[in-house]
Chains A and B, each alone.
Chain A
Amino acid sequence: MLTLSRWKIIVVTLSLIFGLVFTLPNLLPQKTLDALPGWVPHQKLNLGLDLQGGSYLLYEVDTDALRAERLTNMVEDVRTTLRNERIEFGELGEAGGIVRVRITDPGKVDQAVSLLRRTIGGPLVGVVGGRDTTVANKGDGRLELSFVPEAAKADAAQAVEQSIETIRRRIDSLGTKEPTITRQGSNRIVIQAAGESDPARLQAVVGQTAKLTFQMVDETVTQEDMIAGRIPPGVVVIPGTQPGAPPIPVAKRALVTGEDLVTANQEFDGQSGQAVVAFRFGGSGARKFGDATTRNVGKRFAIVLDGKYISDPRINQPLPGGSGIITGNFTPESAAELALLLRSGALPAKLNLEEQRTVGAELGADAVKAGGISTLVAFITIVVFMLLSYGLLFGGISVIALVINGMMIVAAMSITQATLTLPGIAGLILTLAVAVDANVLIYERMRDEARAGRSPIMAADAGFSRAMSTIIDANVTTLVAAGIMFAFGAGPVRGFAWTLSIGVFTSVFTAVLVSQLLIGWWFRAARPKKLPI
């Protein structure tokens, strides 16, 4: 075991170089580091939000709302489709996730079924030719439409993807320091903004769905009808964004939606000097908008944002160009924000903020300082204790192994860009403490063997080989604990687990190989008669 084979020397030397080279960027000042050529590693330890300060926001896509909206749309789609084909129907409505309709003309039931099968819903993601909606004929002209079970999952996944894209666009135009946006699980989005200790602006642009629609105001519904709750089908009463604005009845079906917008900008109205949002539709949106305004001159329509109307102007003349302005008591800032949201598109569903963590930069700096001091104290304690227990030589060897170990951990953490969190520092300290355990096991074993009357070289050799299985067993258990923390832990706990796992590998390596090499060299040089431990 104590033979100094060439491969051992090579492996130890290589890992020593590796440790040095990749630890160095953490020790050099930023200026020196920037001046170095590109092939020198530049990666530093990746400090977690709790150490450098920043915000963590976890949003969940409101899948229930998404579902409800899709069902409402389905009802309207069924209504328009059947009307356009002049198929008479009644009892159209939605309950418990199922849209029901009754075709009154028995001769047209089959035609209705095939028509609805073709037109309602959309293609199912991942299934060629599959559709996400089923149409069932329940007899007596009663039809039931519902989404297939896979549709909900596909919808949520798609909503998350779209949301991430939209959020990225919105944040990009904010121009703040780039936050990371990641998907978590099936319906969650995590936004991490380093150095941002007040995420209010971030929340303002992320938390709004910004779904813009133009809906006709139903002027046949009177104030009395609304109070009495006599609302015709296909009409809905919505509140205004301004406090004190009266609720108005509008058609459920939108004329045009914000999806067709090509630009939106904050401008000032030439006449009143008020801040407004100028918008322009493109392509089919412009045509739809032009047609609708031509057909409905003299009538009122509502500009609706997230279920509340901003204004309900009367159409004075057709607007074939597809552009217009939105007025509505804006300040230049709020108009600019709305324009930004409209430009970057609506979120497919409402996002609920489920978790928010914020750490001020000051607290982060304090944590780094505290972590640094504790690590130093722990290191000195271990060094003193090992020297006292095993003497300058063997204790010193374990200290050298410990220093190399620490260096390799820092190097590995820098390369993998694993996040170092405050509990991670604790993990590091514990790793250093337990790392000497491998040395302790080996040395204790050597003492035992020497006491049993073996020659120094034999005792040292047996110390390494016999302690090995114990060291492996002991470290596998730590690794198992760390693995579980990584699988089930969140944020800071994962950082801790990661540090612990890296530490297990490096400490076994250094305690076994590095100290073996050092002791081997010493034996060759000193040829001792007695084991000095």
Chain B
Amino acid sequence: MAWPLIKLLPQKTNFHFVKYARVMALISAALVVASMVGVFKPGLNMGIDFKGGSVMEVSTAPRAVDLAKVRTTLQAQGLGDVQVQEFGSADRALVRFQTPAGGDAGATLANVKSALKQSLGDPVQFINPTAVGPKVSGELFRSGIIALALAIGLMFLYIWFRFEPQFGLGAVAGLLHDLILTFGFIVLFKIEFSLNTVAALLTVIGYSMNDTVVVFDRLRENLRKYKKMPLGEVIDLSINETLSRTIITGVTAVMALAGLAVFGGEALLGFSVVMIFGIVVGTYSSIYVGAPIILLWGVKRGDEEATPIKLGAASRP
């Protein structure tokens, strides 16, 4: 072949992943705790999908928008939590507000529009007005949470069915780890938590699972092949054998999504960044969360009984 084959990775790697499992477990645990705390305080930046309320752009082009006037007009309407900010250019403002309790989201939006039309005078345009009532936002939030929980549950069942319970536990621990860290990421960068974010999280779950399955599949095969090899070494071997695939697939996915993040515009930035982060964490977790859990629990090989192995004991080469 005349084509200069670029091997991105050495043909055969022999990293001792398990050796660092304990350190990595500590780091992971610390990050998981930090993320969980973060979700409660400062908390998620809820979009109107889940919080309810309205958002729209107000344009008074060619005049500049009188932000103060917009603000006082909105406050006079007796709405909770009003936000007004310049959007893109001086003649555009982004307006957000809550629907008062018991109010009709659509009617409130209509009232606000007519009040703004009166106070700002012609010409005024309302661009992309969106309103979500409290009932709908509550339902969307609930179904989002149910979807996430169900996804994890079904993944567990599938792995249990295809592999053994220990594998299922390892996979779910990995999933939860990825999910929680991604939540932490969303909190840290104040990414809006919306329907799209939930879609991104579900995709992260799917990808993380996909990645874990590939490693587990090889692990199961090697457990049958090398019956006498200590579990820690089998795990190391399986991770090393699948490493080039893990990295090639991970890098393609991240690069493709990076294109989306850069060229996808504002609407898709948060969405794609969340997925990129999730894929990176998902790749890490299939090496350092999924497999070591199996190590802790032990696994049934052939006709032997399951024998848990102490993490420290596994670090010998």
Contacts and interface: CB of A to CB of B under 8 A. Distances in A.
A356 B131 contact: yes
Contacts of B1: 391-393, 532
A65 to B, nearest CB: 12
A447 B205 contact: no
Contacts of A203: 106, 110
Contacts of B151: 480-481, 484
Interface stretch (A29-37, A67-75, A337-345, A378-386): A378-386
Interface in A181-220: 197-198, 200, 203, 207
Interface stretch (A10-18, A87-95, A424-432): A424-432
Interface residues of B, number: 74
Nearest to A444: B245
Contacts of A478: 206-207, 209-210
Contacts of A385: 248, 251-252, 255
Interface string B125-145: 011111111011000100110
Given A391-B5, A433-B257, A488 B105 contact: no
A381 B267 contact: no
B37 to A, nearest CB: 27
A251 B197 CA distance: 55
A492 B133 CA distance: 18
A485 B198 CA distance: 9
B133 A355 contact: yes
Contacts of A359: 128
Interface of A is mostly: helix
Contact of A60 (B6, B135, B245, B263): B135
A269 to B, nearest CB: 30
B222 to A, nearest CB: 12
Q: Residue among A207, A432, A477 with the most chain B CB within 10 A?
A: A477
B213 interface: yes
Nearest to A486: B147
Interface string B241-260: 11011001101110111111
A370 B271 CA distance: 14
B195 A481 contact: no
Nearest to A441: B245
B34 interface: no
Contact of A426 (B213, B249, B264): B264
B50 to A, nearest CB: 11
Contact of A490 (B106, B140, B207): B140
B129 A429 contact: no
A234 interface: no
How big is chain A's contact interface, by range? 35 or more
B61 interface: no
Given A366-B265, A388-B8, A440-B249, A352 B256 contact: no
Contacts of B128: 197, 358-360, 363
Given A360-B128, A480-B154, A433 B268 contact: no
Interface stretch (A100-108, A158-166, A260-268, A468-476): A468-476
B109 interface: yes
B205 to A, nearest CB: 6
A490 B210 CA distance: 24
A186 to B, nearest CB: 13
B59 to A, nearest CB: 10
Contact of B249 (A422, A434, A451, A469): A434
A489 B253 contact: no
A474 B127 CA distance: 43
A385 B196 CA distance: 28
Nearest to A477: B209
B203 interface: yes
Contacts of A393: 1, 3
Nearest to A378: B256
B199 A493 contact: yes
A314 to B, nearest CB: 35
Contacts of A381: 252, 255-256, 258-259
Given A429-B256, A433-B256, A444-B244, A353 B104 contact: yes
B150 interface: yes
A493 B143 CA distance: 12
Contacts of A434: 207, 210, 249, 253
A488 B206 CA distance: 16
Contacts of B7: 389
A394 B127 CA distance: 50
Interface string B142-163: 0110110011001100100010
A223 interface: no
B203 A473 contact: no
19 contacts: A58-B136, A355-B106, A355-B132, A360-B127, A360-B128, A363-B128, A423-B268, A426-B271, A436-B249, A436-B252, A437-B252, A440-B248, A470-B213, A480-B151, A480-B158, A481-B203, A490-B143, A492-B199, A500-B203
Interface of B: 1, 3, 5-8, 11-12, 104-107, 109-110, 126-133, 135-136, 140, 143-144, 146-147, 150-151, 154-155, 158, 162, 195-196, 198-199, 202-203, 205-207, 209-210, 213-214, 217-218, 241-242, 244-245, 248-249, 251-253, 255-260, 262-265, 267-268, 271-272, 275
Given A389-B6, A532-B1, 8 more contacts: A353-B104, A355-B132, A358-B130, A367-B265, A433-B253, A441-B245, A475-B210, A480-B151
Question: Nearest 4 A-B pairs (CB), nearest first?
Answer: A353-B106, A377-B259, A481-B206, A378-B256
Interface of A: 50, 57-58, 60, 197-198, 200, 203, 207, 352-360, 363, 366-367, 370-371, 373-374, 377-379, 381-382, 385-386, 388-393, 422-423, 425-427, 429-430, 432-434, 436-437, 440-441, 444, 447-448, 451, 469-470, 473-478, 480-482, 484-485, 487-493, 496-497, 500, 532-533
